[in-house]
Amino acid sequence: MDVSEPNQSLALPDDARTRDGVATTESAQHDHVKEVTNHARQEEDRGQAARQHGPPREDAEARRGRRRQERLARLMRPWWVEDPALLARELGSLAGAGFTLIHRGLTDGHNLQLGIARKKRRYQLIFEDDYPRGGLVLAQSLGPRRVQGYARHGVLRDRPATLAALRQVDEYLAQPRVQTGGRVLVPTEWRSLPEGAHGTIAFGVASSAQALLPLRLTGVNDALSARLASASGPLAAAFPYSLTGLWASGPALPGLERHTGLFAHVEKTLASAHGLSRSAIRRRLTSEVGALHVPDGYYRSSWHFVGRRPDGRPIVMTTVPLARESLGDRAPDARVLASRHVAIVGCGAVGWAVAVRLARSGVCRFTLYDDDQLYVGNLARLGGFIPDAGALKVATLADQLQTIAPSVTVRGHAFAVGRHVGAAALLEGAPDLLLNLTGEELSTDETNIAALRLGVPAIFAWVSNGVAAARIFRVRPFASACYECVRESGPPVIRSYGRIQPGDVRPWRGSVLDVEAFASTVAQVTVRTLRGDAVSHANPDHLLLDFGGLTPRARRIDIPRDPRCPRCR
């Protein structure tokens, strides 16, 4: 996120940006060159006119020299001298928007520079040489959180470029940051550091902005820095935003648990370690996190994190120890599943619930395929939340999976297998298992072909309309019947409350209670397949589920391979 990587340089940006009102420096320079050429041509014309009207008193050489000087002087006259009305208009619009002018000066490159303030916030404006001719104005916030915005003069009809640039700055400044009472999750590895060090520290921030994860720090040797970064790495996906801070090691104080005492102690330690004045550290902590490391034996050292609210009030955050291994204690198959890659076609009610169960069981790598958006109605059956409405199912599910457990990586594809892409797309990343949870024919054929081509198992599972019954069917390529063999054998039809016709946009009937019971069974079969369990009554290739009772009743079905199958013979 831009805001966390403030650009301290006052140079005008040279990258092309596509937002309205924002020009590239290159085109601005081009205009400038054109303008210079025009000026020169006008000067020549005027010179010729003068020659015709009166007898020259200077000799030709001196006259040419004087004209050259005049021309240069005119070209070097800054725009605000040439066009004072424009500057007056700019200052007027700033005053109208509540800004006070506190400084006016020049940059090293002789650009006009204005220091302005509104409420407690201070900004700087820098105008390009050719501002009146469509040049840029750069706005930058001053103080600890330096962010920039820029806009081009004359592009926006409704408001001056200066106000547009300032508005960008304010928008960046309003983006998420740590809130009061935030929590900092500290991996076990971070609890041992040498004494007496200090430096900067980078945090990842969760979307909720309430939880932080330390990612990297400076001020220690490279090996230690790399070890700490790699401890946080597997968790980083759950903390997409970034924030910077300062840290220092120091002694604990008795009675540290007292909120204000702890805060003052951390702030004082940081100020002295970093050679900052109390007011400088105070200012920095309104936008950065302060961290105190208290060494106390190899695995017993502790961290304290503080900040200040925008109004200056101190915040002491909660430190939460984070032992990644403790997840494995409760997921017995996690060690085996960690290296497995599962591709899931269809991320609806069934696919969503299966994916979540697999991630909690220890599967770390997923590829998801689904072109649907998530709507409020979907929340009745799948694990999204109201703010996710309108987002792609694959995107929201990917976010969730990555926050369920460390090291989970997800690739989401918003296209429909069978309609937009074929089997070849499913070969990406060579998954160890394919799951088709669409209950739909076209993608099922493509999944079957991909499984045979990869030589990896595929599991097909779907519920009937109304969840009266369900089917789970596993293809072990060239060892069990493939999907085509089964289709040819005409298996028993599952019980259903009517059929959903292709193209019918109404949702199928069924409660989350039944769907999740079904998803648990599908996840169970998936885990047994990934573990490499032998085929047995507890791990069958073909299973029918009857949802007539309190829990679904399972019936195993055996379907042999078809020796004439066009797909797998």
Residue choice 246, 291, 467, 485 for contact with Zn ion (CB under 5 A)? 485
Specify the stretch interacting with Zn ion by CB under 5 A; choose among 132-140, 249-257, 356-364, 559-567.
Answer: 559-567
Q: Which of 6, 3, 23 is nearest to 15 (CA)?
A: 23
Q: Does 567 bind Zn ion (CB under 5 A)?
A: yes
Instruction: Report if residue 486 touches Zn ion, rule: CB under 5 A.
Output: no
Smallest distance from Zn ion to CB 481, Å:
6
Handedness of CA 234, 239, 244, 246 (dihedral sign): negative
Size of the site for Zn ion (CB under 5 A): 6
Q: How far apart are CA 38 and CA 138, in angstroms?
A: 27
Which residues 6+ apart lie within 8 Å of 547 measured at CB? 467, 468, 469, 470, 514, 517, 518
Give the residue, chosen from 90, 129, 130, 484, that forms a contact with Zn ion under the rule CB under 5 A: 484
3-state secondary structure at position 108:
coil
Q: Does 568 bind Zn ion (CB under 5 A)?
A: yes
Residue found under tokens 């290739």:
541
| 398 DSSP 8-state letter | H
Helix (H, G, I), strand (E, B) or coil at 228: helix
| Contact characters 454-483, Zn ion, x per CB under 5 A | ----------------------------x-
Looking at the Cβ atoms of 383 and 477, the one nearer to Zn ion is: 477
Minimum CB distance to Zn ion, residue 343 (Å): 20
Please, which residue, 274 or 567, has the CB nearer to Zn ion?
567
Q: Output phi, psi for 105, to 5 deg.
A: -165, -165
- CA separation (Å) from 385 to 393, 400, 437, 512? 11, 11, 21, 15
**CB of 458: closest distance to Zn ion in angstroms?**
12
Rounded to a whole number of angstroms, the minimum distance from the CB of residue 550 to Zn ion is: 36
Nearest partner of 527 among 324, 400, 360, 330, judged by Cα: 360
565 lies in the binding site for Zn ion (CB under 5 A): yes
Q: How far is the CB of 454 from Zn ion (least distance, A)?
A: 15
Q: Tell me how far, at minimum, the Cβ of 190 lies from Zn ion, in Å.
A: 53
- Judged by beta carbon, residue 392 or residue 452, the one nearer Zn ion is 452
- How long is the chain? 569
- Confirm or reject binding of residue 334 to Zn ion (CB under 5 A): no
Q: Binding pattern to Zn ion, positions 504-543, x when CB under 5 A?
A: ----------------------------------------
Q: Does 138 bind Zn ion (CB under 5 A)?
A: no
Residue 513, classified by CB atoms within 10 Å of its CB into exposed (0-12), middle (13-18) or buried (19+), is exposed
Binding mask 29-48 for Zn ion (x = CB under 5 A): --------------------
Q: To the nearest whole angstrom, how small is the minimum distance from the Cβ of residue 448 to Zn ion?
A: 8
x-or-dash string of contact with Zn ion, 267-306, rule CB under 5 A: ----------------------------------------
Minimum CB separation of residue 485 from Zn ion in Å reads: 4
Look-up: residue for tokens 């009743």? 553
DSSP 539: B
Q: Which helix (H) or strand (E) holds 173?
A: helix 161-173
> Are 241 and 205 contacting, i.e. CB atoms less than 8 angstroms apart?
yes
Closer residue to Zn ion, CB minimum distance, 288 or 484: 484
Count of H-run helices and E-run strands, the chain: 16, 21
528 vs 538: CA distance, rounded Å: 9
Nearer to Zn ion, 71 or 567 (CB): 567
One-letter amino acid for residue 561 of the chain:
R
User: Could you list the residues that contact Zn ion (CB under 5 A)?
Assistant: 482, 484-485, 565, 567-568
